[in-house]
Structure 1
């Protein structure tokens, strides 16, 4: 789009005409007054569009349609065809219960994510009453004078008054690539600025923009995580076990010459008992609950799978500025070269800065420039700082001579200017204190000479060393990755306890873990570093703040946008820190490991329960000629156990002090051992009921039903901690759900509801046998855990008293 093509109406991204609101031009270049801004806010409303969520009924009905519900519905129909009514009724209740439970939990998870969205605001630079300030994008009104730079998401439709930018409009057009925009042209809300800076007047906000909403940052959809892959693998193994048992059962029935038709509903119910109907809700809630807890610690989790990955993260790449330091630059020293004075060096540097940028470096240099009451140079052109080239520049007029001024990294400026032999020695001397050193060069276009050095001090955060140590004690290797000089990076790295062995970009591609960090790094080199670490089998975390960090943040399993990050970096990351420093990262790792422990409890329990149920029913049928638990009661077992599955998201757990890797074989081993132990006890109870107590078939089925319920609750307590199962009390929700399941099963059995009644003394005896077996199996579990190291060591500080 060229300026000549602009009209009063303007054109949208797809070429359609859009009406330009009238009377929006602010007075002069001062921007709107606060009073006028309030008036227009009342007139046009906030710069946002609220999404209308789908109704609860639609969500519930949607859960009754799909492969898993179809299998349940097929089982229901077959039971009716066979003339049975109790079974179909219970299966129907099960279907509705699962749908309602999933819908309710999804709604709760959405509420938690809405809270995150409300705290993750896009901010914009706005000029009001003659002063540049940072305001939430939702408060922008038509007529505001705004400024955008590289890394920003455009907060509203506006016409450029000054500057040139390259914008990515893929969010609007669906086509990748950048397009240039300059004075007189319009850029649209939700575009992202890839290069350059521009100021302009807002023409449309909120629903009146082309895109129709404020830039959306929260991304909940990601590729399948390691935990999801594990769960699918576990389910596949369980289905294979069911298949083997089903073949054995069919063979036995055919050997006896019996009818196979009554077995069909059993096979369907067995498959459903294996497939975790409430798994999506359980894992979503587990992550959402922890994500909501983390918001109170200055962490916004915008990609829930990142919490799962944080538990296994073993390498963290961190930047220096704003993470280890306070990101409050101040002028520490000026070193003039070639007869220049300090004031002259500062004047040259100030020419390559712009106040509208509101960056810490620019504000420090311009602040010192104003404090000394120096006269600015007449600037004709300004090119803002670009991380890809590590410098900013300006074209100025001094004493009638056109000059080019460059401010940036010393190594970069040295390549653009005439050689200065003592440059790097002076840079090393200044950087030894941890200062950030910039070089400034000026002169005719092709004959730049280095005029001096600017040293900026950014004090270390008081808690930086302590928090680095805390991350290291969690078993995470910390690498510092920075664009600063090696001397600056080493000084800061040693001060916080990371170390001083630094490499360069080439070193990062070969054995990067041999180093403590990397200096003189370009943003795109972070992406290659992450890939190298991942190829070596590492689960990698990466912090970033700029638009060029976006690929690395997306590539990393745990992408973390720091407090000062650009909008594009926040959109690319799965975790956004809302406060400076590393405390949020410590919280994320600890939170991820709590989620891991809760989901590990679910996974082991699922394996043990499924194998126990499938084997007991199949082998029991082969041995006795009847199902030791009716199909209708299996539905009751699954429904009641699903309740506990959801409450595990709130359980109190002990966080591991080392990264935890998901090992399917070891998890299956523990689940299999527990299942075997329960099977032994189950067949002992079955033998006693048939041969000693001489109970009729219906009472035997009742007794085995309560046994399966009791053992399922006991399995949860055994697997939720690495030590004795009584060493850590569960959350009140888990306690209520498990005790409630025992009570419900006992009442149904004692009163003969849905089954034949059995004496209370038999129920008490069965419960006592389960408790004794729990103590024995708990010791077996401890031994297996110690052999596999699956749960690692526990950290008391990792206890989360969720209730």
Structure 2
């Protein structure tokens, strides 16, 4: 819902309620039914399903299949029932095997997609009840708790320490704070008063008003790309081209022989029968069977490596791939925030800041992504300590405090955003005054960490002089600056080695991320990818298609990309003749997955990404992709061996027969 073309997060709540024709008390059952009829189900556009009959007809329409059909029919018509039946049986068996294999893979992928049933808590008839996500409609009032998948685009009406993980939508790995209010920015990235379908609630809880569902949601366009017709893959194009070439050569040879025989005064019927025999002999009858069996064996080998091959031809396409575009979060990285550094006020490595921060997180009950990273690095961080008072973190103060009694210290520990904590500090740990110069040095250190793609949390403390009591804002002053904790989403341990293997195989990797270009550049360096230049979404938007087609050959890393821009980069690479693969797991990756010659996703990916992919990796490991490239090339070589053998023998034999027939007093070959 937008007022006068404005995004819904810029519209006052009262105006939104009026526009939606509802109140902040939820909907009645009758109103829900009316709205479901009006707005439809809260679901993505599904890929066009192809039934078995249509799938078989599509394969029969291939030039090579038509040649074999014609050869079989002619053989039967001219009396060679056995030969014709064999040709038709081989063709039929090949098509059936191909159709069954792809059908089984699609069923496996569908079972994987349905393995998690998602519910939402909506207020219906005055009470909150659990309903299927697909049953939500605009105007519904939903309650969202930590761990819930955001079921629809919605406006936040109430929030309690509520944050969302929007990595699947934007590529940003850090939690995003959400709170009620109205903002002026039209950018979804700035909409901290709205939640978007596909994100995950990380901490706290919220009450939200559903505004857009299904295809009308912010990323519904990305999902609706799946409903578009699938373009032929490189393998299908190559096979189609080979079939046309075979048909042209066969027709040319038949016409040439028939014309020559007519000029030599040979009987017309015998000459026609001989030409038909040549046509049958030129046909590579076993190619469909060889192709299907070879690809099926490749699919079985890939399945042993925990890869679901949804489309058999994708194995060959993976082998032909020479550019792999990949998202960052969850594919190259762990999609899990970890503690990268613990620094003292001067920027030197020192564990005290992380130790105090972990102690505060444990005693204060903080369970955000950054707190979890702190606790992962400290075994029993509160040993010997007792929590006496806590002033919980909130987003207005951007910090939280814990009063704790330890074996040797009685401390107030404060942690939070550097800009909030640093201004409360009076001294540094070494006793020096936290004057303007020291403040500037601390802020410069925070900026340096940000330049390396790291997020900083400041830690401060002060000795507590007396008995415990309820903490106030006045207590959070005159602090001692203890240092900074820096966090990052680390690269997968296997990423660098897998990228090196792909490079050795002639596959160039490009990072297409929705995250900050600075973070993308840092990650590229960590995984061994040269990225002297990183283009942002704004840079890509400023380029024409022709200019982008030039730049994509020079630049290997991109940040702050929209879903459409990822797809545009893929198409620019294809325009330069590249066979492009795309590896992604988020909703924002669906257009890129759809546009690529070979789409790859992972088990934990969103349903939209899995539906758009040609292969699903049950283990998120780039090494499997490198294995797949080798498997695809092995499959291609095996098919090529048969093509070369069949082409050389069939054409050689038939040309010899055609030439000999002009000089022999009898025809060397007939259809029967």
Structure 2 match to 1:138: none
1:461 alignment partner, SS class: coil
Tell me the distance in 1 between the aligned counterparts of 2:504 and 2:261. Answer: 58
Q: CA deviation at 1:535?
A: 2.3
Structure 2 match to 1:479: 510
1:456 alignment partner, SS class: strand
2:320 alignment partner, SS class: coil
Structure 2 match to 1:71: 70
Structure 2 match to 1:7: 29
Equivalent pair of 2:258/2:272 in contact (CA under 8 Å): no
Is 1:493 the counterpart of 2:512? The answer is no
1:429 counterpart (448, 464, 477): 448
Structure 2 match to 1:622: 662
Is 1:576 the counterpart of 2:594? The answer is no
Tell me the distance in 1 between the aligned counterparts of 2:336 and 2:39. Answer: 45
Equivalent pair of 2:68/2:91 in contact (CA under 8 Å): no
Q: CA deviation at 1:124?
A: 5.0
Tell me the distance in 1 between the aligned counterparts of 2:511 and 2:61. Answer: 50
Tell me the distance in 1 between the aligned counterparts of 2:344 and 2:29. Answer: 50
Structure 1 match to 2:554: 514
Tell me the distance in 1 between the aligned counterparts of 2:665 and 2:310. Answer: 54
Q: Deviation string for 1:285-311 (max 9, x for gaps)?
A: 433331232122232222333322222
State which drifts further: 66-75 or 295-304.
66-75
Q: CA deviation at 1:622?
A: 1.6
C-alpha spacing 1:436/1:234, structure 2 compared with 1 (3 Å):
same
Equivalent pair of 1:239/1:274 in contact (CA under 8 Å): no
Q: CA deviation at 1:453?
A: 9.3
Structure 2 match to 1:330: 338
2:259 counterpart (248, 251, 254): 251
C-alpha spacing 1:490/1:111, structure 2 compared with 1 (3 Å):
closer
Equivalent pair of 1:63/1:69 in contact (CA under 8 Å): no
Q: Deviation string for 1:22-53 (max 9, x for gaps)?
A: xxxxxxxxxxxxxxxxxxxxxxxxxxxxx999
Q: CA deviation at 1:547?
A: 1.0
2:498 counterpart (455, 459, 467): 467
Q: CA deviation at 1:216?
A: 14
2:37 alignment partner, SS class: coil
Structure 1-normalised TM-score? 0.48
Q: CA deviation at 1:460?
A: 3.5
Equivalent pair of 2:603/2:617 in contact (CA under 8 Å): yes
Structure 1 match to 2:648: 608
C-alpha spacing 1:90/1:316, structure 2 compared with 1 (3 Å):
closer
Tell me the distance in 2 between the aligned counterparts of 1:17 and 1:526. Answer: 29
Equivalent pair of 1:242/1:614 in contact (CA under 8 Å): no
1:504 alignment partner, SS class: strand
Tell me the distance in 2 between the aligned counterparts of 1:74 and 1:320. Answer: 54
Tell me the distance in 2 between the aligned counterparts of 1:376 and 1:586. Answer: 47
Q: CA deviation at 1:616?
A: 2.6
Alignment length, in residue pairs? 484
Tell me the distance in 2 between the aligned counterparts of 1:534 and 1:223. Answer: 13
Equivalent pair of 2:516/2:559 in contact (CA under 8 Å): yes
Structure 2 match to 1:162: 143
Equivalent pair of 1:312/1:539 in contact (CA under 8 Å): yes
Q: CA deviation at 1:602?
A: 2.9
For residues 406-425 of structure 1, the aligned pairs below 5 Å read: 425=444
Structure 1 match to 2:430: none
Tell me the distance in 2 between the aligned counterparts of 1:621 and 1:482. Answer: 65
1:317 counterpart (303, 311, 325): 325
1:626 alignment partner, SS class: coil
1:261 alignment partner, SS class: helix
Structure 2 match to 1:796: none
Tell me the distance in 2 between the aligned counterparts of 1:155 and 1:365. Answer: 37
Structure 2-normalised TM-score? 0.57
For residues 171-570 of structure 1, the aligned pairs below 5 Å read: 193=197, 222-276=230-284, 279-331=287-339, 376=392, 425-431=444-450, 436-437=454-455, 455-505=486-536, 506=539, 509=548, 510-570=550-610
Tell me the distance in 1 between the aligned counterparts of 2:503 and 2:198. Answer: 35
Tell me the distance in 1 between the aligned counterparts of 2:247 and 2:590. Answer: 40
2:268 alignment partner, SS class: coil
Tell me the distance in 2 between the aligned counterparts of 1:426 and 1:622. Answer: 89
Higher relative contact order (CA 8 A, sep 6+): 2
Equivalent pair of 2:600/2:613 in contact (CA under 8 Å): yes
Equivalent pair of 1:563/1:577 in contact (CA under 8 Å): yes
1:554 alignment partner, SS class: helix
Equivalent pair of 2:354/2:374 in contact (CA under 8 Å): no
Tell me the distance in 1 between the aligned counterparts of 2:98 and 2:669. Answer: 30
State which drifts further: 548-557 or 422-431.
422-431
1:91 counterpart (84, 88, 91): 84
Structure 1 match to 2:625: 585
Equivalent pair of 2:602/2:618 in contact (CA under 8 Å): yes
Q: CA deviation at 1:342?
A: 11
Structure 1 match to 2:157: none
CA RMSD of aligned residues (A): 5.6
C-alpha spacing 1:2/1:319, structure 2 compared with 1 (3 Å):
same
Equivalent pair of 1:127/1:145 in contact (CA under 8 Å): yes
Equivalent pair of 1:218/1:303 in contact (CA under 8 Å): no
C-alpha spacing 1:631/1:575, structure 2 compared with 1 (3 Å):
same
Q: CA deviation at 1:92?
A: 3.5
C-alpha spacing 1:543/1:273, structure 2 compared with 1 (3 Å):
same
C-alpha spacing 1:471/1:92, structure 2 compared with 1 (3 Å):
closer
Equivalent pair of 1:239/1:271 in contact (CA under 8 Å): no
Tell me the distance in 2 between the aligned counterparts of 1:587 and 1:496. Answer: 18
Equivalent pair of 1:327/1:360 in contact (CA under 8 Å): no
C-alpha spacing 1:194/1:289, structure 2 compared with 1 (3 Å):
same
Q: CA deviation at 1:481?
A: 3.5
2:269 alignment partner, SS class: coil
Structure 2 match to 1:594: 634
Q: CA deviation at 1:551?
A: 1.0
Structure 1: give runs of 5+ residues left out of the alignment: 19-50, 80-84, 129-142, 148-153, 169-191, 201-214, 380-393, 399-406, 411-419, 441-451, 633-803
